[in-house]
Amino acid sequence: MSVNLESLDHMVEVDECCSSDGERKSHHSDKVKNNLVSRLNRIEGQIRGIKGLIEKDTYCDDVITQISATQSAINSVARILLEGHMKTCVLEKIQEGDTEILDEVMVTIQKLMKK
C-alpha cells in the first residue's frame, strides 16, 4: 500500500515546533494524536494476529503477507510523523537560519529507508 504524501495533508495539522523552551518534544493536535494512536492500535492488533498465525502453524506465505501489511501500516505512521515534523520543526529551524537541522532530517530519512 503506497501513500502519496499529498494525500496525508488532511491527517497532519501544522501545530507548534517540536521544541519548547529548549526541550525537544512534539506538539501534535489532539486530532493528529488520535489518528496516530488509532493507527498504532490497529498495528498492535495486526502484530497479535501474526503471532496467532504462527502459533497455529499458518502457511508461511500467508504470514509473510500479513507482516508486509503491518510494515506498510508502520511506514504510514512514520510518513505522517515525518511530514508534520518537516512542516513545523524543520521549517521553523530553517527560517531561523539553522540549516544543521537538514543533517538531522537526512539521518532520519536514511533510517526510514533502511527498512
Residue 46 inside a domain? The answer is yes
On the question of pLDDT at 41 being above 70, the answer is: yes
Residues with Cβ within 8 Å of residue 75, at least 6 apart in sequence: 112, 115
Residue 5 inside a domain? The answer is no
Instruction: Determine the pLDDT at residue 3.
Output: 37
Residue 94 inside a domain? The answer is yes
Residue 23 inside a domain? The answer is no
| 53-87 tens-digit pLDDT | 999 999 999 999 999 999 999 999 999 999 999 99
Residue 87 inside a domain? The answer is yes
Query: Can you give the pTM of this predicted structure?
Result: 0.77
- How many domains in the chain? 1
Q: What CATH number does the domain containing 107 carry?
A: 1.20.58.1000
Amino acid at 72: S
Residue 37 inside a domain? The answer is yes
Q: What is the mean pLDDT of the chain?
A: 85
